[in-house]
A and B are shown apart, each in its own frame.
Chain A
């Protein structure tokens, strides 16, 4: 593995305004303008604080932590869906976010129509979708249903289709958020096989998962996130162990 970094987070912080006041509407806002603006700026929620790490070419990087610790926020920042409040993020290469499989899927469109729609939203041109189409359908194992509307699919079939499109956009970086737990055993095996194939081809991955054994098996390095800060980073075994200890301490508290 060469050590060229493909993702760099440099002192990244992300905070949100709490929008409780705005949702009460324009009238309320205009009537209480000065105090409302003051409230807007005062109430901030800090999701991530001073996060720095690098992901190298071909590396599988895991992020663990409790619910609400900021894992998904990091993935969204790397996917460039969110903008950091401060700090810098550099990402080089096509990112395939397996954050939401089947983005834009519509139940009334056929599987084939949804492949085109989803592929376009993930960044493919019509020509590229056409070139990949056969292979997408084949991978999803939905040949017999591809001209049926999506609403007739089971949820497992929908995920298979979404996953199949997502892995066919030739990503250099793959963001994976708990999606490997879908489909039947046979399809899961196929997914893991595809992941390994990606890794051999030098695709970098960022994983978020609560499945610790999977994290240890798949990742080169793992970072532990606690309330928006990285408290440990390095060897999967050690970081996972520390996380489990942390959970135990937490659960013995009243």
Chain B
């Protein structure tokens, strides 16, 4: 590679940014093209889910956790961002095979734009959650301002790492798609989403920390439901996110040049 001057370097970053935005915008446009409600669906989906929980857990099945609807949603919305991205991530490169074989462009933008696309839908769940928060007579505090973006960044790094890993490996081992789907189902129950971390028996506490998603979901619930921050959980989730990103990206870098000839 020739040395790049500051001007061309600037242009490069500009280009990466533009390409990511264009690819994310494309997915969002395609999703709602030819629908009457358009972007409103991004708001409607979480809203309906929240309403159903509200009816089910408030009126029909009474659960011994205070504000169970809010409790559930505060873990479930972030989880959904993760699970929808991860379950589609194995086919990111396969779906773009013709592109990878014919055009030279930064391939790492594909997994990132998929995470960004799902982040867009996650953002819409926040007003829905806040509406239910207000209905229950609660309100966000000032901690939301710095911590909400921080958690989004941590989770973005986290999901990107997994996506790089699964997208790259699945080009060579297609079984990974099914393994991923199964793993996500199991992980859902191993992560304190439908139950709280306090409900886990003492003997299993350690096992919970071994699940890299737990500290992140706990941090989300701390903030969204209880308006608190526990730095140890934030640090733990940041640590896991960086570790997983490093592993995922390293694997991607190792396999990247073989995509075009394998697909």
Contact = CB atoms under 8 A, between A and B. Distances in A.
B11 A104 contact: no
Contacts of B174: 23, 25
Interface stretch (B14-22, B115-123, B218-226, B237-245): B14-22
Given A81-B260, A97-B103, A122-B103, A113 B29 contact: yes
Interface in B184-215: none
A124 B105 CA distance: 11
Contacts of B260: 76, 81-82
Contact of B103 (A100, A108, A113, A126): A100
Q: How large is the interface on A (under 10, 10 to 19, 20 to 34, 35 or more residues)?
A: 35 or more
A79 B105 CA distance: 10
A109 B104 contact: no
Interface string B1-35: 01000000001001100110111001001100110
Please provide the 7 A-B residue pairs with the shortest distance between their CB atoms, ordered closest to farther. A100-B102, A26-B175, A126-B18, A103-B103, A83-B257, A120-B22, A80-B104
Interface of B: 2, 11, 14-15, 18-19, 21-23, 26, 29-30, 33-34, 96, 98-105, 172-176, 257, 260-262
B60 to A, nearest CB: 41
12 contacts: A23-B174, A25-B174, A97-B103, A99-B102, A103-B99, A104-B103, A108-B30, A120-B23, A123-B15, A125-B11, A126-B21, A127-B14
B15 A125 contact: yes
A136 interface: no
Interface of A: 16, 19, 22-23, 25-27, 29, 76, 79-83, 92, 95, 97, 99-100, 103-104, 106, 108-109, 113, 116-117, 120-127
Given A23-B174, A29-B173, A106-B30, 7 more contacts: A22-B172, A22-B173, A27-B175, A79-B104, A81-B260, A99-B103, A106-B26
Nearest to B34: A108
B19 A121 contact: yes
A79 B261 CA distance: 14
Contacts of B173: 22, 25-26, 29
A81 B22 CA distance: 22
